[in-house]
Amino acid sequence: MFARQYPVVAFFVQHIAYYRGLHSKFAEVAAHRDFWRSTCDAHPKLATVSRCNVFGAESEDLHWRKTPAAEVVDQAAQDFRQRQADHKSVLDFRNTYLAHLDVHTPFFQSVPDFDPAIQTVFAYQEWVRELTRPVSLNQPALSVQYAGWEREARSVIGLS
């Protein structure tokens, strides 16, 4: 399960980092704005799909509740009502902007706050790292990779 789930979790974190890095520098873009806007907009879309694979419907094969980490993740996550509100925000974004675009109603919602899911992912990874320490390949923590990916996106957009 971890071998399939972990890359999806890392993909989610990576695309949030790229989105935030690009978005933070978008006002400075002078050339190729359409390209950078499209590139920037693609990252939360990809992250949303990955987030839904792991934190969405429990019927998903990769859902975190299907791992022994469920209790650890539950402890790291905020209270149930806040989790439900965060989940609804992501589902609304997915349903109205990604999966079921309403051609009659323009989409003006902001990108959901992915911070609770990112913090949960960081706790999940620490648990998995401890569990797999004997066979670990010294992969850096996702929190460290997140910061690097965000820096990378900020630096790339400055090259345009």
Q: What is the pLDDT of residues 83-133, one digit of tens each?
A: 677 778 888 888 888 888 777 877 777 888 888 888 888 888 887 777 776
The count of domains in the chain is: 1
User: What is the distance between the alpha carbons of residues 91 and 99, in angstroms, rounded to a whole number?
Assistant: 10
Using the predicted structure, report yes or no on whether residue 68 has a pLDDT greater than 90.
no
Domain hosting 51: range is 2-157
Q: Is pTM, for the whole model, over 0.85?
A: no
- Grade residue 15 by pLDDT with cuts at 50, 70 and 90: very high
Burial class from Cβ neighbours inside 10 Å (0-12, 13-18, 19+) for residue 93 reads: buried
Interior/surface letters 3-20, b for 16+ CB within 10 angstroms, e for the rest? eebbeebbbbbbbbbbbb
Stated as kind and residue range, the H or E segment containing 21 is helix 2-25
What sign has the CA pseudo-torsion 47, 87, 94, 67? positive
In the prediction, which pLDDT does 77 show?
56
- Please give the pLDDT value at position 21: 95
